[in-house]
Amino acid sequence: MSTRRGPLRLLLVLGVVAVTSGHVGTSNAYYEGRAGPYPVRVIVRTPGVVPGLAQISVRVVDGPQPDFITVQPLFSETGARGAPPPDTASVVSGDTGLYSAELWLMTPGSYSVRVEASGRDGQGVVFVPVNAVAERRLAMSPVMGLILIAGGLFLFIGAVTVVGAAVRESVVEPGADPGAKRVRRSRIAMGVGAVVLAAILWGGWNWWGAVDAAYRARMFRPLSTSATVESVPGGQLLTLHIDDPRWLGRGWSPLVPDHGKLMHMFLIRDGDFTAFAHVHPVPADSSSFEVLVPPVPAGTYRVYADIVDESGFAQTLVDTVAVAAPSDVAPGEESATDPDDAWALLPPFPTATDTEFVLPSGRRIVWQGSTRPLANHELTIDFSVLEADGSPAELELYTGMYSHGVVTTGDGSVFMHVHPGGSIALAAQDRFAQSETPGGMPAMTMPMAQPPGVLRYPFVFPTDGVYRVVVQVKVDGVVETAAFDVVVPEA
């Protein structure tokens, strides 16, 4: 069976919004873990332009307070040797335990923000990987445009007038009549000067257009892909081919495993979100990945595939694919490409509750806390995973984490793969930790321990709107999936 592409509407939407790296809709990074004895939550808000200033906030969470915190940007190709000196983060007035700083990200590519906390209780370091990419062009306000046009006209007319006055009166005695000959020469000089100045302005306009075009060409674009599905013995085989010229021709795949997998792929049924799958394709060659499609209902599916390359640069590949009706197989009974592949049927979007979800096993996942999210405000999303009798569930590791989460909007403008430790790729964090500290010191970047059955997701909803939050946990060897729909208002 050959694949039919998804609706043109969805392709256009994804083509417009999938311009960020690591995730879709935002390249900000969130991390919660320990810097030595200090439990910290680090949020890096990327500038969206390069060079640009990244906003760094470090919150010390329920623990000893350090005397000071420093932050330093480390570029993947130069590391600490080519980095500027660390900046000391300032304490935010009126918010105990919150520190703030700004860092210049000068070159497009993979960075890590090195956060060091020092105090009476000791010293600790964490590395928070982040992608510095040009995602947007800063717009000029109409008022500023009018001011600049008016100022330019004033200077142009003034310069032409000065040329005319210089030719007409510069060698004439004060108060003397310059005469018709000099007046005529001044008018000719003003005409020539106006032409020369206009040519200079035209050249400047073309130069600025070339600079703008070059910047547009450097703006980040995710690797282009083509997803296809074909019938094979045992089910349907999904192939994701990276057909971008920037990738092809190298003959090898520069990817590193994240949570033990080269690729984490998520399939979300378009329109109603009633089916969700988290699968792990394996390489078919240097530019293609294959995975058996779980027996999800037929329909068009959004495809999101997370990868991390050797530099620590993480990005999400985006496409759509049409899936045919599966055979009548219950969840968990199908053969999978990877034993960690999982899928679930979910309530239609946006009808899922934002407080509690009952899993097929009878367990419950409860969204705890009274703090409701606001757009662009940091928060911790707390979940309790409870057995049917109300006792905390004993969570098991699922691809190296106690939980995986997905946050997305109905129109696909935001998609993020998150964990209790944050939104960062652990492979990228390990890469910097191992290269920048003696022996790698992996214990410095470990996430904070959680009580039994408790999940804590540090997060910032980048925009207002209606979001679906998907939470996956593994208990008794079975991966179960819950869905929450939440309305996020403007701050």
Q: Is the pLDDT assigned to residue 16 strictly greater than 90? A: no
Question: Domain 29-132 has what CATH class?
Answer: mainly beta
Higher local confidence (pLDDT), 386 or 430 = 386
Give the whole-angstrom CA distance, residue 233 versus residue 332: 18
pLDDT for 317 equals 94
pLDDT for 327 equals 60
Asked whether 74 and 150 are in contact (CB, 8 A), the reply is no
Tally the residues of the chain.
491
Q: How far is CA 118 from CA 63, 282, 421, in A?
A: 13, 43, 22
pLDDT for 214 equals 85
Cα distance from N-terminal residue to C-terminal residue, the chain: 48
pLDDT for 448 equals 56
The pTM for the full model equals 0.81
Q: What is the pLDDT of residues 225-239, one digit of tens each?
A: 999 999 888 789 999
Contacts of 411 (CB under 8 A, 6+ apart): 13, 17
Give the whole-angstrom CA distance, residue 362 versus residue 383: 16
pLDDT for 370 equals 64
**Strand residues in 186-274 grouped as ranges (E):** 225-232, 235-242, 264-269
Mean pLDDT of the chain: 86
Which uninterrupted H or E stretch holds 190? Answer: helix 179-218
Higher local confidence (pLDDT), 5 or 167 = 167
Q: Is the pLDDT assigned to residue 62 strictly greater than 70? A: yes
303 three-class SS: strand
Query: 219 pLDDT band (50/70/90 cuts)?
Result: confident
Least confident of 28-32, 138-142, 156-160, 201-205: 138-142
Query: 447 pLDDT band (50/70/90 cuts)?
Result: low
Q: What is the pLDDT of residues 174-184, one digit of tens each?
A: 878 888 888 89
Q: Is the pLDDT assigned to residue 7 strictly greater than 60? A: no
Q: Is the pLDDT assigned to residue 170 strictly greater than 90? A: no
Query: 15 pLDDT band (50/70/90 cuts)?
Result: very low
Higher local confidence (pLDDT), 301 or 209 = 301
Q: What is the pLDDT of residues 246-292, one digit of tens each?
A: 888 776 678 889 988 999 999 999 999 999 999 999 999 989 999 99
Complete DSSP assignment for 315-340: EEEEEEEEEPPPPS--TT-S--SSTT
Q: Is the pLDDT assigned to residue 305 strictly greater than 70? A: yes
Give the whole-angstrom CA distance, residue 176 versus residue 170: 11
Query: 481 pLDDT band (50/70/90 cuts)?
Result: very high
Give the whole-angstrom CA distance, residue 290 versus residue 268: 17
Give the whole-angstrom CA distance, residue 124 versus residue 448: 14
Q: Is the pLDDT assigned to residue 410 strictly greater than 50? A: yes
Query: 428 pLDDT band (50/70/90 cuts)?
Result: confident
Higher local confidence (pLDDT), 139 or 476 = 476
Q: What is the pLDDT of residues 108-132, one digit of tens each?
A: 889 999 999 999 999 999 999 999 8
Q: Mean pLDDT across the stretch 380-406? A: 93
Q: Is the pLDDT assigned to residue 196 strictly greater than 80? A: yes
Instruction: Name the CA dihedral angle for 226, 228, 403, 111, rounded to a multiple of 10 degrees.
Output: -10
Query: 389 pLDDT band (50/70/90 cuts)?
Result: very high
CA 131 to chain centre: 8
CA nearest 465: which of 18, 25, 133, 136? 25
pLDDT for 328 equals 52
